[in-house]
Amino acid sequence: MQRIKYIIPFLIFIFVLNTGSAQQRKQSELQTKSSLAIRYYNAKDYEKAMPLLQEVYKLTRSTTYFRYYVTCLTELHRYAEAEEAIQNEIKKQKAARPEFYINWGYVLEEQGRADEAKEKYEDAIREIQPNRGSYLTVANAFMGYQKFDMARDTYLKGREQLPDQEFNYELARAYLYLRDYTNMMEEYLNLLKEDEKHLSRVQSSLSSAMRLDIDDGLRDQFRDQVLLRIQSDPDVLGYNRLFIWFLLQEKKFASALRQSIAIDRRTGEEAGQIAQLGDMALRNKQYAEAKKAYKYLMDKGIENSYFAQAFARNLHASYLEFVNETPDDSAAGEELAKQFNEGLEYLKYGPATLNLVREYAHLLTFYLNNTDTALKVLESGLKIPGLEPEQIGVLKTEMADIYVYANDPWEAMLIYSQVIDENKKSSLGDEVKLKKAKLGYYMGNFSWAKAQLDVLKASTSKLTANDAMELSMMIGNNLNLDTTAVPLTMFAKADLLFFQNRNDEAMVILDGLAETYPYHSLVDDILFRKAKLAMTVQDYALAAEYYEAILTDYSYDLLGDDALFNLAEIYNYHLDQKEKARDLYKQMLTAYPGSVYIEESRKLYRELREVYPDEKLDQKTKEELFMEGVKPDEFE
């Protein structure tokens, strides 16, 4: 008896273990079969997919697998077999399953029996149970067969039969596929009126829809209907917020800011949105609009929780505006330096203001020639307690750059080495190694610099690796061509002057080099440097000419992708030729697929294509891809 006491639990344990193991094997076998079936189905190998789908359906009773099974039979023209399978399933059901009538209608329609198919579709709608889930199931089944008009009718009946269910979002989706933008917008706007919590969902759906909007019909419809709603129902702020979102999609920051401020004056709750708007304008180099946003937040008073952030971001925006738009205006530079000084007195030196400290020092040195004050600013920054090694490294790197500017290369080399030793495991270490190698290049130590650059070509930072490779190849190519290094030495001197912001002196050297060595391999590099110099004085048309000259005569060379990307940037941000910029970003994707600029070019191309659609794209193909489940941002 004592032995039986222990044997019975043991046998139970073994039984449970074996049962569980058998279930796992069965589940694994099912997953394998379903995965293989779907693979064959997607490859349109219906002969192989069909028996597997039938077996998986019998095991799971999932109507999705049954629909795939019926599709296989239909594609193989085995219509009678498909109809028989459907009829058998209908007979088995205790309660009507409308989805099977939809499958039947599909089979009939594929045979050209349109009237009979319509009857089956109508039977499906009649058989819907009076609850939301049933209407959704049937409408989704219609959507699966791209019967968007029947899906619409299903939702409309649901709205009629279930007064508490509006089906706004679902109807909007059906209207989108039917390209009925007017009714689609009405449903989305009604959804917002019901509850503003749907805003992000509506924005996401509209964003996808607008990517498919070839002729701007949806954009125009959107603008008209939203403005009418704002006028007729001003208390629904969701309409205003949706309109602001739309303006931001079109990069109309001034209009978006006016709308946001108007709402904030009513609610006092838009500070976060206005801060984000300012940051977005700043990323798009719309400095004036960014500063207006920050200034508004500052004017709300020091008790505003966004005050300090807006104060700092406003300084940063002013710095970028000065550097990119008025770098030669010394009076503006002095005024900005005063703002930095006062700003840091208010904000205090701390980890949160390190970027401002660095920008202030850079402004003082490279634009106002005030290296002594700049070094003092950085020394104050280095005294901030509790800084991380990388934060210290950023300030020390700026300090070394200042010594390069002041023609004290040995002190700069020493500080660069310190930063590298203290940041061996961070990307900053590699960035500073590149600066140190460039300093060797400026000093004429070409072989040493090339050796350092060759090591950096394996950097984890793609940008650092790319810059290192370009400079290394430029040094190698030009050292091997001459018995002397005179042309390269002259070019390196010009590069140093360019780094020191002594642009006129750099241009004199480049002109002399081009005149003395008109057929030297440095010609495209000279054009590239001249383009950068033209950019600094905002002569964007001249810069574009230099870049176009590189693309015309030297597109095969090392600077081809740099010239193409910079040219696209000029047309995008400075010459206001968005369509041309769009085409150049697109050209980058095919001409230089391995370029470091490829991801940014793809992103900017897609952004511009949304606002300035490419008429050369095949509308029908895009719609077909959309119906097949391809995401709009994957269209190429």
The single-letter code of the amino acid at 569 is E
Q: What share of the chain is helix, strand, coil (3-state, %, to 5)?
A: 80, 0, 20
In this prediction, residue 296 carries a pLDDT of 96
pTM of the model: 0.76
In this prediction, residue 369 carries a pLDDT of 94
Nearest to 122 by CA among 101, 152, 143, 96: 101
How much is the average pLDDT of 587-611? 87
In this prediction, residue 634 carries a pLDDT of 45
Report whether pLDDT(437) > 70.
yes
How far is CA 198 from each of CA 31, 238, 470, rounded to the nearest angstrom? 36, 9, 50
For 37, other C-beta atoms within 10 Å of its C-beta total 24
Using H for helix, E for strand and C for coil, what is the string for 145-208? CCCHHHHHHHHHHHHHHCCCCCCHHHHHHHHHHCCCHHHHHHHHHHHHHHCHHHHHHHHHHHHH
Count Cβ atoms within 10 A of the Cβ of residue 17 and give its class: 0-12 exposed, 13-18 middle, 19 or more buried. Answer: exposed
Nearest to 414 by CA among 428, 431, 394, 432: 432
Report whether pLDDT(384) > 90.
yes
Domains observed in the chain:
522-634 (1.25.40.10)
What confidence tier does 221 reach under pLDDT thresholds 50, 70, 90?
confident
In this prediction, residue 628 carries a pLDDT of 38
The single-letter code of the amino acid at 261 is I
3-class DSSP state of 455 = helix
Rg, Å, the chain Cα set: 33
How big is the chain, counted in residues? 636
Angle, CA 28 vertex, CA 26 and CA 32 arms, to 5° = 115
- Phi, psi torsion values for 460, nearest 5 degrees: -70, -25
- Phi, psi torsion values for 514, nearest 5 degrees: -65, -35
Q: What percent of the chain has pLDDT over 70?
A: 91
Q: What percent of the chain has pLDDT over 90?
A: 67
How much is the average pLDDT of 618-623? 43
In this prediction, residue 587 carries a pLDDT of 92
In this prediction, residue 161 carries a pLDDT of 93
What confidence tier does 34 reach under pLDDT thresholds 50, 70, 90?
confident
How much is the average pLDDT of 144-169? 93
Tell me what the pLDDT averaged over the chain comes to.
Answer: 88
In this prediction, residue 410 carries a pLDDT of 96
In this prediction, residue 208 carries a pLDDT of 86
DSSP characters over 219-272: HHHHHHHHHHHHHH-TT-HHHHHHHHHHHHHTT-HHHHHHHHHHHHHHHS--HH
In this prediction, residue 434 carries a pLDDT of 95
Report whether pLDDT(614) > 70.
no
Q: Lowest-confidence range among 105-114, 198-207, 328-337, 454-463? A: 454-463
Report whether pLDDT(11) > 80.
no
Q: 617: which residues sit within 8 A by CB, 6+ positions away?
A: 214, 635
In this prediction, residue 393 carries a pLDDT of 95
In this prediction, residue 8 carries a pLDDT of 57
Directed axis angle between helix 578-591 and helix 598-611, to 10°?
A: 140
What confidence tier does 278 reach under pLDDT thresholds 50, 70, 90?
very high
For the record, the structure tokens of 104 come out as 């039947």
